Amino acid sequence: MEAAVPERPRPEGPVAAEGPSTSQPTDEAPAATPPTAEAPVKDASLEREAEGEKPERFMPRDLLAPSRQPVAVAERVVETPTKHADVIAFANQKGGVAKTTTTLNLAVAFAESGYRVLCVDLDPQGNLTMSQGIDPDKVEKSLYDVLVNDMPIAEIIQHREIDIAVSSIDLAGAEIAMSTKIGRERSLEKALKEVSADYDFVCIDTPPSLGLLTINALTAANKVIVPVQCEYLSMRGLVQLQNTLRMIQENLNPDVRIEGILPTMLDTRTVHAKEAVEILEENFGDLVFRSRIKKAIKFAEAPVKGSSVLKYDSASSAANYYRELAKEVLANGSA
């Protein structure tokens, strides 16, 4: 039997390691690991929890809307609708049916009732301008500049019995000058928008044709009054005007409508005039005004004085014809 090998005494000093050994424990504490940039950062909520503080609790609304700052809600501003003028075009391609006389005197009748009125002389003859004592050959600026050169209409308005946007003979060339202009049918409508809030009524006198100037008037208007001389030839033009108005409604201005048909220059002594009124009423019914504008010498005398009939002879029957017409138009508008 082999003799027992005595245990080798353990050296008291440090032993040179022949190789790494993890089997023998050492009495020395392991060296502290220096902090590095990749060391995890302690959560502040965990620190507060360790110190005895309760962690913050998030409600579902906080997760949906994490910002706790009050949100300023803009107060809704209710806009007051701006009142716009009633735009009335006086149209009939037949000449000599008292369009100009009706435009001026009805406008002045409105003004007598306290309304703010603008007249627009869209006829190159300038008869409406002359009827207010203004020479169309001497005006420096006219509707030609408004329609062709886009001048503000306020620059050509003159103040007489009513405000009037004046005409000149230059307007006769406006249709040719506007032929290449984009949106030429809306030139007057665009110009009137700048002053629409300043008036209650805008009355447009049109030339005796269905050309571009009349189309501009019908596009800008929301109502049309058709003066008709109580004669057969004058009434025939109504069909053509209706066809033109229908095209305007379909393509340019769906809101325009005939306010009424006005029998003018009525001579109640003739059978023909009475028959003409009956034909109008049979064909157009309620569209025919109850008011009648009878023949009177005052209508020829007043323009010579540069005034309306209502100013020239306020107490005359001629003046009262248009006062009655104004009442009827106002009643229709409020109905």
| Cα end-to-end distance, the chain, whole Å | 140
Task: Say if residue 9's pLDDT is above 90.
Answer: no
Q: What is the pLDDT of residue 59?
A: 56
pLDDT, mean over the chain: 83
Q: What is the pLDDT of residue 23?
A: 45
Number of DSSP helices (H) and strands (E) in the chain, helices first: 13, 7
Domains and CATH numbers, the chain: 86-334 (3.40.50.300)
pLDDT digits (tens, 9 = 90+) for 176-185: 999 899 999 9
Report the run of H or E that residue 12 belongs to, with start and end. Answer: none
Half-sphere exposure of 40 (CA within 13 A, CB side): 4
Confidence of residue 257 (pLDDT cuts 50, 70, 90): very high
- Residue 92: partners with Cβ closer than 8 Å, 6 or more residues away: 99, 208, 226, 227, 228, 234, 237, 238, 241
Task: Say if residue 49's pLDDT is above 90.
Answer: no
Task: Say if residue 158's pLDDT is above 60.
Answer: yes
Confidence of residue 69 (pLDDT cuts 50, 70, 90): low
Classified as helix, coil or strand, 284 is helix
- Range with the lowest mean pLDDT among 78-87, 88-97, 119-128, 277-286? 78-87
The structure's pTM equals: 0.75
- Regarding predicted confidence, which is higher, 70 or 288? 288
Task: Say if residue 319's pLDDT is above 90.
Answer: yes
Taking alpha carbons only, the member of 255, 201, 224 closest to residue 89 is 224
pLDDT digits (tens, 9 = 90+) for 206-248: 999 889 999 999 999 999 999 999 887 777 778 888 889 999 9
Rounded Cα gap, residues 162 and 164, in angstroms: 6
Confidence of residue 173 (pLDDT cuts 50, 70, 90): very high
Q: What is the pLDDT of residue 45?
A: 54
- Regarding predicted confidence, which is higher, 12 or 97? 97
Percentage with pLDDT > 70 across the chain: 75
Task: Say if residue 32's pLDDT is above 80.
Answer: no
pLDDT digits (tens, 9 = 90+) for 109-157: 999 999 999 999 999 999 999 999 999 999 999 999 999 999 999 999 9
DSSP letter assigned to residue 90 = E
Classified as helix, coil or strand, 210 is coil
- Residue 191: partners with Cβ closer than 8 Å, 6 or more residues away: 146, 147, 150, 152, 153
Task: Say if residue 34's pLDDT is above 60.
Answer: no
Task: Say if residue 100's pLDDT is above 50.
Answer: yes
Task: Say if residue 269's pLDDT is above 60.
Answer: yes
- Output the DSSP codes for 219-255: HH-SEEEEEEESSHHHHHHHHHHHHHHHHHHHHT-TT
Q: What is the pLDDT of residue 84?
A: 79
